[in-house]
Chains A and B, each alone.
Chain A
Amino acid sequence: MPTTGNNVFTPWATVALLTALLGAAPTLSSAQDAENPYTSRIDVRTGRRLFQAQCSTCHGLNAAGGNESTGPDLTTGRFRHADSDAGLFRVIRDGVRSTSMLGLGADADDQSVWQLVTYLRSLDVTAGGTPTGSAAAGRQLFAGKGACTSCHMVHGQGKRLGPDLSQVGDRRALGDLQTDLVQPDTEVSPRWWTMKASGPGGQIVEGLRMDEDTFTFRIMDSDEQLRAFSKYGDWTYERLQRSTMPSYAETLTEDERNDLAAYLFSLRSEP
């Protein structure tokens, strides 16, 4: 697998020079009317690489502007000169007249421009939508009716039988959080699978799969005790690839779930 690579564009300075000499917007291609066809994680990675080579001088290495960068922060999900992917495509390729934003030029291939769009979209934490519910109400539900704290910890409060949610808004989009509440088995991290161990004399111990390797595994049981087992000793084991979390499809109303999702989405690391 390759892990490194260099830019495939004309160097930035050359583009700037060409744009200055020609002094006119390059011809538009049909690509700007289409949907972005390059949206995989591969394209995010390639787009980031292209961004760091082409755009980071002004917009910062992580597109957040600031420090010595002169270009605006591109991570907010809002762009002054574009309100769609096609608009972003046009700005990246053609630049913005009468500003220091120089486009890549008409020679830039569509694929690369789209990959830059994909990268910028990947930085937007609100890409999955903005909350309609009340985070304050969701907070009440979290500790109250939802009984989430009987498994989850937030800022040191709660239990240990589910993921710590103190920064869940950083890693899950709003739509994912809403799905998690009604379909907890859709995407279960192996860390939260259950290991069921059966030992001598009919003993059975179940617990969350904290870690597993070729010869051993370690779990947290329902009493939050840490327990370690050998795979080749007296115990047999079974791996249950499902979540221990209940679905809230019946026990909470849609409005309550929206409130809860809004609360979870608000849980972020410090900016």
Chain B
Amino acid sequence: MTPTTMVSPVAVALTVLGLGLGLAAIAPPVAAQPRSVDGAAVFSPVTWERLVNAADEPHNWLMYNGTLDSQRFSRLDQIDTSNVGQLELKWAHHIPQLDRAETTPLVVDGVMFITESPSNVVAVDAVTGRPFWRYDHPLPDDLRVCCGRNNRGVSILGEMLYMSTLDAHVVAIDGRSGSLVWSRQVADYRSGYSKTAAPLIVKDQVVTGIAGGEYGIRGFLDSYDAKTGERLWRTHTIPGPDHPDNRSWAGDSWRTGGSPTWITGSYDPELNLVYWGTGNPGPDWNGDVRQGDNLYADSVLALDGDTGEMSWYFQFTPHDVHDWDAIQVPVLADIELDGETRKAMLWANRNGFYYTLDRETGEFLLGKPFAKQTWAEGLDENGRPIRRPDTSPSQEGTLVSPMAGGATNWWSPAFSPRTGLMYVNAFDGEALFFSREQEYNEGDNFTGGGTETPLPIEHYHSAIRAIDPTTGDITWEFPITPRSRAGVLATAGDLVFSASVDGYFYALDAGTGAPLWHISLGGPVHAQPMTYAVGGQQFVSMTVGNTLYTFGLDGER
């Protein structure tokens, strides 16, 4: 911040608007807090080209996962390993509705868009955290939500924001005013459908998934015309009876088989492929009623970016009976493997295995456990798990690792092209899995059992793990007590940011995992860090409890 004399915005406004009205006389200019970025919070339309090249404007965070390849890596390097210890609080934003705050904000040219529980969005000045506008989405009282009233973020195209809502709508909101432009029902919330994830923009389409895997839904991925809200395509994640893969479901079980799509996917512009993870088959813990592999639950799908037609799929957990959704962010990276550059997809799965896939073909390249698992001997040459006997849920309870919450979950990983490492929030837990009979009733919970953890959480081990995607080996780990439900961010300052349920926000050395900075912010974390810059200053933001905190270096500002 230059400490030179600044013209107060109040004075400017009065000069422009007020002279002829005599307002200057009753409201003399007030000395404003000097800011070099005054007036900078004016965003220009976010074109598809800007989204494709989002990595080239690291001062902005233009989509849920930062870039279309979902590396959650920022080229910003003002905050680095040498000065991260000097981070200080710049501002905080309190979220009024108390529930899990799972948001990743966007920043576009100095304006930050934060989603709040249950399905609201607020636009603030990214330098001060003070609001421009807010949109509160009206919701019915009888929502079906398994896991909290939450929302994870918006997407932007042009000047329009797109958001999922808990009543299973997608809405388009004007980015400058917060006005609702269109609202489209995606499915009937009374049947158990809900929406929590940020949509993904692909060209002029809003691609968006669905939640409800604990309610016997039939999952799908949709595309809507960004301008009109008209639905362009729908690809079911459980194929219908006219498709041979439908036979991977016994009888009519496919109709209520779940396989939701409740986290944001990725896109490769060169291959024109949309990548999206799918969740658990239903009922979660009673597989007897849905014999077969249950395609395409617990899979990653590669879909044509124009038509939604499936190019390939890879199923991580055939016939899952442990609720191990493949709801992880598909991380796209080009890596050296056996002397060859491969267009790869990096995936640390809830089932305890890490996978490197060829993202052009879906070919399994390598995989091995990255966390404690007791259910499989390993992966065969095609990446299919070699399941151990007697690991299915039972009437008396079967002890299996990972626990239902997984070796990791939806918490976004990060990949740094500078270190070549993927950073994952991992958990070495276990649970007793119980299977129960349950009838399907539309709109009711449909899980077929339950789980419990036999020991207090302190008995288990949690860590941020750095995985080498060329081998699947763990390069380093940073232990967390007792555990974390936060995502990870990597930066060109060779830092890895994350947080934990004990309320810490911290920075690690991306090369070694050494802790370089931490602050106790007091509340559990269910969100992901992100970074941006305004007026040449880098900030890093993290939602802890129900407050979004933004940090930066002292500098001149």
Interface size class of chain A, counting residues whose CB lies under 8 Å from the partner chain: 20 to 34
Total interface residues on B, CB under 8 Å, equals: 42
Q: Are B515 and A215 closer than 8 Å at their CB atoms?
A: yes
Question: Contacts of A46 on B, CB cut-off 8 Å?
Answer: 436, 450
Say if the beta carbon of A109 comes within 8 Å of chain B. Answer: yes
Type the 1/0 row for A29-44, where 1 means its CB is closer than 8 Å to any CB of B: 0000000011011110
State how many angstroms separate the Cβ of B529 from the closest Cβ of chain A.
Answer: 15
Question: Contacts of A37 on B, CB cut-off 8 Å?
Answer: 395-396
Q: Are A214 and B481 closer than 8 Å at their CB atoms?
A: yes
Question: Contacts of A241 on B, CB cut-off 8 Å?
Answer: 459
Say if the beta carbon of A200 comes within 8 Å of chain B. Answer: no
Q: Are B323 and A214 closer than 8 Å at their CB atoms?
A: no
Question: Contacts of B225 on A, CB cut-off 8 Å?
Answer: none
Say if the beta carbon of B252 comes within 8 Å of chain A. Answer: no
Complex Cα–Cα for A43 and B396 (A): 10
With A2-B214, A4-B146, A40-B432 as known contacts, state yes or no: A213 contacts B452, CB within 8 Å: no
State how many angstroms separate the Cβ of A49 from the closest Cβ of chain B.
Answer: 9
24 contacts between A and B (CB under 8 A): A1-B404, A2-B445, A2-B447, A3-B146, A4-B144, A4-B445, A5-B444, A5-B445, A8-B441, A8-B444, A40-B396, A40-B434, A43-B434, A190-B459, A193-B458, A213-B481, A213-B482, A213-B504, A213-B520, A214-B504, A214-B506, A215-B515, A215-B520, A232-B515
Say if the beta carbon of A85 comes within 8 Å of chain B. Answer: no
Say if the beta carbon of B471 comes within 8 Å of chain A. Answer: no
Q: Are B452 and A40 closer than 8 Å at their CB atoms?
A: yes
Complex Cα–Cα for A265 and B449 (A): 34
State how many angstroms separate the Cβ of A46 from the closest Cβ of chain B.
Answer: 7
Question: Contacts of A109 on B, CB cut-off 8 Å?
Answer: 437
Q: Are B502 and A213 closer than 8 Å at their CB atoms?
A: yes
Question: Contacts of A6 on B, CB cut-off 8 Å?
Answer: 441, 443-445
Complex Cα–Cα for A40 and B439 (A): 20
Type the 1/0 row for A177-214, where 1 means its CB is closer than 8 Å to any CB of B: 00000000000011001000000000000000000111
Interface of B is mostly: loop
Say if the beta carbon of A159 comes within 8 Å of chain B. Answer: no
Say if the beta carbon of A111 comes within 8 Å of chain B. Answer: yes
New A-B pairs, 14, CB < 8 Å, besides A6-B441, A42-B452, A214-B480 = A2-B146, A2-B147, A3-B147, A4-B145, A4-B146, A6-B445, A40-B396, A41-B452, A109-B437, A190-B459, A193-B458, A213-B504, A213-B520, A241-B459
8 A Cβ contacts from A226-247 to B: 232, 241
Complex Cα–Cα for A8 and B438 (A): 8
Complex Cα–Cα for A39 and B397 (A): 10
8 A Cβ contacts from B221-236 to A: none
Interface of A is mostly: loop
Question: Contacts of A213 on B, CB cut-off 8 Å?
Answer: 481-482, 500, 502-504, 520
Partner of B456, one of A111, A189, A215: A189
State how many angstroms separate the Cβ of B175 from the closest Cβ of chain A.
Answer: 34
Complex Cα–Cα for A46 and B441 (A): 16
Complex Cα–Cα for A46 and B444 (A): 14
With A2-B146, A6-B445, A42-B452 as known contacts, state yes or no: A111 contacts B323, CB within 8 Å: no
With A38-B395, A189-B456 as known contacts, state yes or no: A214 contacts B502, CB within 8 Å: yes
Say if the beta carbon of A45 comes within 8 Å of chain B. Answer: yes
Complex Cα–Cα for A232 and B513 (A): 13
8 A Cβ contacts from B284-305 to A: 284
Q: Are B439 and A8 closer than 8 Å at their CB atoms?
A: yes
Complex Cα–Cα for A193 and B436 (A): 36
Q: Are B437 and A45 closer than 8 Å at their CB atoms?
A: no
Partner of B323, one of A1, A4, A8, A45: A1
Our count of residue pairs bridging A and B at CB distance below 8 angstroms stands at 85
Complex Cα–Cα for A8 and B441 (A): 7
8 A Cβ contacts from B137-159 to A: 144-147
Question: Contacts of A45 on B, CB cut-off 8 Å?
Answer: 450
Complex Cα–Cα for A109 and B405 (A): 30
Question: Contacts of B458 on A, CB cut-off 8 Å?
Answer: 190, 193, 212
Closest to A4 in B: B445
Say if the beta carbon of B131 comes within 8 Å of chain A. Answer: no
Complex Cα–Cα for A6 and B145 (A): 12
Type the 1/0 row for B414-457, where 1 means its CB is closer than 8 Å to any CB of A: 00000000000000000010101111010111010111100010
Say if the beta carbon of B518 comes within 8 Å of chain A. Answer: yes
Closest to A37 in B: B395
Complex Cα–Cα for A5 and B449 (A): 12
Say if the beta carbon of B479 comes within 8 Å of chain A. Answer: yes
Complex Cα–Cα for A3 and B447 (A): 11
Complex Cα–Cα for A193 and B456 (A): 12
Complex Cα–Cα for A43 and B443 (A): 22
Question: Contacts of B405 on A, CB cut-off 8 Å?
Answer: 1
Complex Cα–Cα for A40 and B144 (A): 26
Type the 1/0 row for A3-38, where 1 means its CB is closer than 8 Å to any CB of B: 111101000000000000000000000000000011
Closest to A217 in B: B481
State how many angstroms separate the Cβ of B497 from the closest Cβ of chain A.
Answer: 14
Complex Cα–Cα for A1 and B410 (A): 13
Closest to B434 in A: A42
Complex Cα–Cα for A213 and B445 (A): 35
Type the 1/0 row for B467-509, where 1 means its CB is closer than 8 Å to any CB of A: 0000000000001111000000000000000001011101000
Question: Contacts of A189 on B, CB cut-off 8 Å?
Answer: 456
Question: Contacts of B459 on A, CB cut-off 8 Å?
Answer: 190, 241
Q: Which has the most chain B C-beta neighbours within 10 Å: A1, A6, A214?
A: A214
Complex Cα–Cα for A6 and B444 (A): 6
Type the 1/0 row for B386-412, where 1 means its CB is closer than 8 Å to any CB of A: 000000000111000000110000000
Complex Cα–Cα for A40 and B454 (A): 11
Q: Are B147 and A214 closer than 8 Å at their CB atoms?
A: no
Question: Contacts of A41 on B, CB cut-off 8 Å?
Answer: 452
Closest to B500 in A: A214
